Structure 1
């Protein structure tokens, strides 16, 4: 009886440890912009961009431009130069998509 009780305890312990993720060692934190820069970013250094939204868990709404060197530069989404740079990047990728689909 005692052996069965011990086995059940260890099985329950193993199951509980297996089903809960570890408290440390995992990095589920988002890489968010905390502020944006008003300085325009030159088109020639930008490869792509992503939009950061508040409802995704970040503190501010921003456009994150990815440079050729892999840096992430945060910009205000409603600035005129940001919208223009996004449009240029979109048109470049749109034209590349059209070439591949032919």
Structure 2
């Protein structure tokens, strides 16, 4: 019974570690300041402030499948959000 408890504990710890690392990889830490033409943007998603990400951001996915973090208060970002659809991507698959 003790071995089973240790194995389950290690497995849970490993799952939590992997979950945390994948969340952190999709977290914006700074803004891209230069405006991007709308024709290069595919869609966007909103990053809210959470325990893992302390920066509110708009994450644009470009036509080349790159992710760009932008300031939601910036004028060019607000105009772009009106022109491109919202992406419904979970944090584990946002880069695909």
Match of 1:78 among 61, 69, 73: 73
Shift of 1:65: 0.3
Residues 44-67 of structure 1: CA distance to partner in whole angstroms, max 9, x if unpaired?
Answer: 111111111113620211100001
The number of residue pairs the alignment matches comes to 82
More helix by share: 1
Going from structure 1 to structure 2, the CA distance change for 1:26 and 1:57 (only over 3 Å counts) comes to closer
TM-align CA RMSD: 2.5
TM-score by length of 1: 0.66
TM-score by length of 2: 0.70
User: What's the counterpart of residue 5 of structure 2?
Assistant: 15
User: What's the counterpart of residue 46 of structure 1?
Assistant: 41
Q: Which runs of 4+ in 1 moved over 4 A?
A: none
Match of 1:28 among 20, 28, 40: 20
Shift of 1:68: 1.5
Alignment gaps of 5+ in structure 1: 1-10, 94-102
